[in-house]
Amino acid sequence: MTRTVPPKKEAAGPAVAKPAEAHPAEVRPDEAAPGAVARFVRGRWLGTVPGRIRLHAVLALGAVGVLLLLLAATVGNARDAVRTIGHDAGPQVVATGNLYFALSDMDAHVADVLLIGREHGLGIGRDESLRQYETRRDEAGQAAIEAAQLAGQDADRQKTVREVLQALGRYDRLVGEALLLSRQSGHAAGETPKPVIDAYRQATDLMRMELLPRAYNLTLDSGATVRQEYEEKRGAVQAGRAWVVLAGVAALAVLLAAQLYLARTFRRAVNPALALATAGTLLLLGAAVGMLNGQLDHLRKAKEDGFDSVLTLSRIRAISHSAFADESRYLLDPERADTYEQNFLDKALAIAYVDPGESRPLNLDTYYALIGRTAAEYPSASGDTRFLGLFATEAAKADEAGAEPRLAAVLRAYARVMDGDRRMRELATGDRRDEAIALRMRRESGGAIAEFERYDAGLVGLATLHRQRFQDAIGSADGGLRGWGALPPAAGAVLAALILAGVRPRLAEFR
């Protein structure tokens, strides 16, 4: 009989748990797939065509963005330069220059009133001289206010303006005293009483030693400020133009590279949207460079052909009026005649300096002869007939500004004023004082006032020509900037849309 053997039982032992199968949804942290940021940092996306397309798009957008930001900043600098030179500081400096002229002409009219005394028929007459004195007094006060505005936070300049206003008040009081004494005495022309002369001496010394130097320094300082701002802003526009050109070339290079990559990858000759973006960038760059070149040229013309010349002619006119007043002072105060004669010569040399050479003294007789020859031979003057001074500064720009014929006429009129001064002094030193006063105050042809008014009108006409050139240049600059505030952002939106439109269809092929 067959016996069945039962199966052996497994030996008892510690139970070993079978490893549980991982749930498909459970992933260990260290086995997680790289995220988008990690993939970007590792650069693996550059190994794919979509990744390279996106890179070209980002580079193109960035390059165009940099170009537009630089263009917007440079346009802002150009607009600031035009505003400073053409609308703010520039016109204020020209107005400040009127302070020196107004002060000089004030003192000239006072000297004339005191010289003619009760002879109201001489010159422009006592009443008209006093009216013009009051007019210049108001102009001087207004010009001082404008100088204070231009000074801004400059403590030294503000102090100078206050000193001018305070000295102007003292001068006005001294003039009032001299005029009152003159009216009370009722003296004849050229016979001014000593108390009147003493009062006027105090007034004219105050004008000559305090008011006029401070006013002249204000004009010089203000002009220097405008020149500094002009150089800074013009330099900023020039630097900005260079950066715009570099950014534009870089943007065009990136866009062309994107075109070439897409053409090579997808075997298509051209991407229309990117081609339009490239052409648009090129047109924008060309227009921007042309506009900036135009702005730099307009600023140069406004500054050199306009502002500088107007300021120079303003100084010439002010010094001329002061020198012409020295003729009245020369006749009014014989005790100081030598002083006023030397003052006249110094001012004449500042206006148009002529070199007498080594063999001749630099006195009025020499000056009369040389200035006559110089004026007659201008603009072809050479050798010992060349001149320096403020008129030489104007002559350096006259040819380019088209003002040479007018300047030649002004110089000839100036020479006639000098010839009239020569004849007046000859009469005064030849015991013909009454005739000298009559010549000095004569308004008919050949008289000193008539010749000076003709010369002064020439100066005003020449200044008007340069002022018109200034206004034309600023007007052209304003017109050239019109629309450029909105153009960069609008162009940026269009170019960005074209770039995205150019790459989007290619990226869609990989979805």
Q: Is residue 503 part of a domain?
A: no
In this prediction, residues 208-213 reach a mean pLDDT of: 88
Verify that 207 and 293 share a domain, yes or no: yes
For the record, the structure tokens of 4 come out as: 């069945």
The residue among 220, 151, 226 whose CA lies nearest residue 390 is 220
Query: Which of 241, 271, 300 marks a domain boundary?
Result: 300
pLDDT tens-digit map of 492-507? 999 999 998 888 777 6
Cα–Cα distance between 128 and 88 in angstroms, integer? 35
Verify that 295 and 405 share a domain, yes or no: no
Angle between helical axes of 49-82 and 448-481 (0-180°, round to 10): 160
| C-alpha radius of gyration, the chain, whole number | 41
* pLDDT score recorded for residue 34: 52
Residue type, 207: M
Least trusted range by pLDDT, from 87-91, 275-279, 305-309, 373-377: 87-91
- Provide the 8-state DSSP code for 9: P
For the record, the structure tokens of 414 come out as: 């100036």
* pLDDT score recorded for residue 19: 47
Name residues whose C-beta falls within 8 Å of residue 436's C-beta, 6 or more positions apart in sequence: 331, 424, 425, 427, 428
* pLDDT score recorded for residue 304: 85
CA 490 remoteness from chain centre: 31
On the CB side of 457, CA atoms within 13 Å amount to 7
Check: CB of residue 136 under 8 Å from CB of residue 351.
no
More confident residue, 380 or 210: 210
Q: Is residue 467 part of a domain?
A: yes
Query: Which of 284, 300, 316 marks a domain boundary?
Result: 300
CA torsion sign, 125 to 186 to 338 to 215?
A: negative
What is the pLDDT confidence band of residue 126, given thresholds at 50, 70 and 90? confident
Neighbours of 276 (CB within 10 A): 17
In this prediction, residues 72-97 reach a mean pLDDT of: 84
Query: Which of 300, 331, 361 marks a domain boundary?
Result: 300
Let me know how long the chain is: 511
Verify that 360 and 252 share a domain, yes or no: no
Does 13 score more than 60 pLDDT? no
Verify that 136 and 203 share a domain, yes or no: yes
Verify that 156 and 238 share a domain, yes or no: yes
CA 397 remoteness from chain centre: 16
Q: Is residue 306 part of a domain?
A: no
Q: Is residue 493 part of a domain?
A: no
Verify that 289 and 222 share a domain, yes or no: yes
Q: Is residue 244 part of a domain?
A: yes
Is the whole model's pTM more than 0.85, yes or no? no
Q: Is residue 305 part of a domain?
A: no
Burial class, 96, CB count within 10 angstroms (exposed 0-12 / middle 13-18 / buried 19+): buried
Residue type, 199: A
What is the pLDDT confidence band of residue 36, given thresholds at 50, 70 and 90? low
Does 345 score more than 90 pLDDT? yes
Q: Could you tell me which residues are beta bridge partners of residue 387?
A: 354
Does 31 score more than 60 pLDDT? no
Does 350 score more than 80 pLDDT? yes
Question: What is the SS3 assignment for 342-400?
Answer: HHHHHHHHHHCEECCCCCCCCCHHHHHHHHHHHHHHCCCCCHHHCEECHHHHHHHHHHH
Domain count, the chain: 2
Cα–Cα distance between 372 and 354 in angstroms, integer? 10
For the record, the structure tokens of 157 come out as: 């300049």
* pLDDT score recorded for residue 213: 87
Mean pLDDT taken over the chain: 84
* pLDDT score recorded for residue 44: 56
Neighbours of 306 (CB within 10 A): 27
More confident residue, 439 or 503: 439
* pLDDT score recorded for residue 356: 84
pLDDT tens-digit map of 104-116? 888 888 988 888 8
Q: Is residue 145 part of a domain?
A: yes
The residue among 251, 252, 255, 250 whose CA lies nearest residue 502 is 255
Helix (H) or strand (E) holding 41: helix 36-42
Verify that 278 and 144 share a domain, yes or no: yes
Cα–Cα distance between 464 and 460 in angstroms, integer? 6
Verify that 254 and 368 share a domain, yes or no: no
Burial class, 333, CB count within 10 angstroms (exposed 0-12 / middle 13-18 / buried 19+): buried
For the record, the structure tokens of 33 come out as: 């797939």
* pLDDT score recorded for residue 238: 94
pLDDT tens-digit map of 365-406? 999 989 988 898 888 754 444 788 999 988 887 766 567 888
Verify that 296 and 354 share a domain, yes or no: no
Verify that 96 and 168 share a domain, yes or no: yes
Least trusted range by pLDDT, from 92-96, 220-224, 289-293, 359-363: 92-96
* pLDDT score recorded for residue 62: 93
The residue among 418, 360, 414 whose CA lies nearest residue 392 is 414
Does 488 score more than 60 pLDDT? yes
Q: Is residue 126 part of a domain?
A: yes
* pLDDT score recorded for residue 404: 85
Cα–Cα distance between 257 and 60 in angstroms, integer? 9
In this prediction, residues 175-201 reach a mean pLDDT of: 90
What is the pLDDT confidence band of residue 320, given thresholds at 50, 70 and 90? very high
More confident residue, 202 or 41: 202
More confident residue, 344 or 143: 344
Write out the residue range of the structural domain in which residue 437 sits: 350-476
Does 424 score more than 90 pLDDT? yes
Name residues whose C-beta falls within 8 Å of residue 274's C-beta, 6 or more positions apart in sequence: 60, 255, 258, 259, 262, 498, 499, 502, 503
For the record, the structure tokens of 412 come out as: 């000839």
Bond from prior residue into 379 cis (ω within 30 degrees of 0): yes
In this prediction, residues 473-493 reach a mean pLDDT of: 91
Task: Please give the backbone phi and psi of residue 353, each rounded to the nearest 5 degrees, phi first.
Answer: -85, 135
Does 414 score more than 80 pLDDT? yes
Verify that 255 and 179 share a domain, yes or no: yes
Burial class, 3, CB count within 10 angstroms (exposed 0-12 / middle 13-18 / buried 19+): exposed
Verify that 187 and 80 share a domain, yes or no: yes
* pLDDT score recorded for residue 283: 95
